[in-house]
Chains A and B, each alone.
Chain A
C-alpha cells in the first residue's frame, strides 16, 4: 500500500512534469492526497487526465462568475480548482455557482472540499445525476460512491450551505428535555451550599 506521503509527493512531481508550476503542483499534491484518504480515485483520475491532456485541449477558467460555460473544450479541473480556491471570498457571495462542461470533476471536487474547510461552510455539489456533500474537508459524502466517476461532466451546480442546524426546534427541545433527567432538583439547602459561592454579589 502506498502511504499518503508518497501519494502527495508523486502527484506533485507528476503535475510539475505535466506542465503545471511548482506552486500549482503543490496544491494538486494536497488535493489528491485528500481524495485518496477519503477512499476516492484521485490517483486514477489524475493519471487519466494527464494522459488525455497530451491529446486534447482544455480551457483554463481563471475568473469565476456565477455562471460559467465552456462551449468548445472542457474546463481543466485543476486551473478551475485553483481559481476557485483563490477567489473563494468572492465566489462565496454567489451562493450558487453553475459550471458547464468540465473534465474530470472528481479532481475539481477535491479543491471544493478544501474550499469548504477554508470558509467553514459545507458545500453541496450536484453534477449530472449525482450529488456530493463536502463537509469541511473532514469527509466527502456521496450517493454514488461505488459507481465510476465520469471523465466529463456537462453541468455542475455548487451550493454553499449556510451554517445552520440539521434539526428543527421541536426535535431539539424534545432531546434537551430528556437530557434534563440527569439533573438534580435543588432544595433550599442545596441552593445555599452546593454552588460554592454566595447568593448575592453584595456580601
Chain B
C-alpha cells in the first residue's frame, strides 16, 4: 500500500538511494582517511621512538650510494651514526645537541652544534595532518616487500605545483619508514631512500655508535658553543604572496659563520615541505650568482633586491623558489 503519489514515491526512493550511496562513499572516505592518518601517525611515532640499525641506498641524479645507519633512542635521548659504505669512509655521529663529521679522506674532522634538535632521522610528517590535507591528498597503496620486511605504501600527492610528492613505504610491523621516493609533478623520481636490510628494536650497543675512524687520527675543527641567533623583531623583509599553505615559522638574524656578515634566515613551511630564505647585504664590487641553481632535489634562486642578496632554497620545485624570490619586498 502506497501512502504517497507514485511520482513523489519514485522521487523519494531515488533520493534515499542517492543518500545511501553518498553515505557509503562518505564512510569509505572516512575509513580511508582514518587509515592514512593511522599510517602517518605510525610513521611519525616510529621515527621518534625506535632504535634500529641497517643499510640503505640513496639514489639521486643517476647515482647510487650505499650507507649504514645506526640509531639508538634511550630515555628520550637519540644518538645516530651514519657511515658511507662506498668510497671514502666518511661518517657522521650525532646526538641531540652536537654533530661530529669524520672526513678521513681529507684527514679532517668537524665538530659543530646542531641548530635545532627537531630534525630526526628519518622522521617525517608533523602531527597535524588535517592542515596538510588542504595541500596534499593521501592514499594508502599496495603492500611491498622492502629489506625483507612487509611494508605498506602511502602516497602523498601535492595538489599544486609548489611542492613535491612523496611515495612512502612504512614497515607494517613497526611503522618505520623503509623507503621514501621524492617525486616531481610529472611523477618522475627526484630522490630515493631505500633500506636494503634493517634490524628494528633490540639493544644498540655503544660500540655500534662509535666511529670507525678514531678521533685521534684526524685534525679537528669546531666551535665551542652553539651558534648565536636571535628572532627578528622588526621584519623589514616581507613576502607579498605566499603559495597556498606556506607560512613563516621562523625569522632569525645571526652572523654568517662563513663571512661573519649579518644575515637573516626565514623558514617557510606548509607542514611538510620547507623553504629557507637567506638575506644579506650584497658585497660591494662583487658580483654573485643570480637566478636558479639545483643540486638533487634542492632548488635555489638568488635575486639582488635593494642591494641585498636574497636566496630562496628548499627541496621544492623550481617554480616555488622562483615565485618566492619574486615576491620578496623590502619595507623600511
Query: Do A and B truly interact?
Result: no
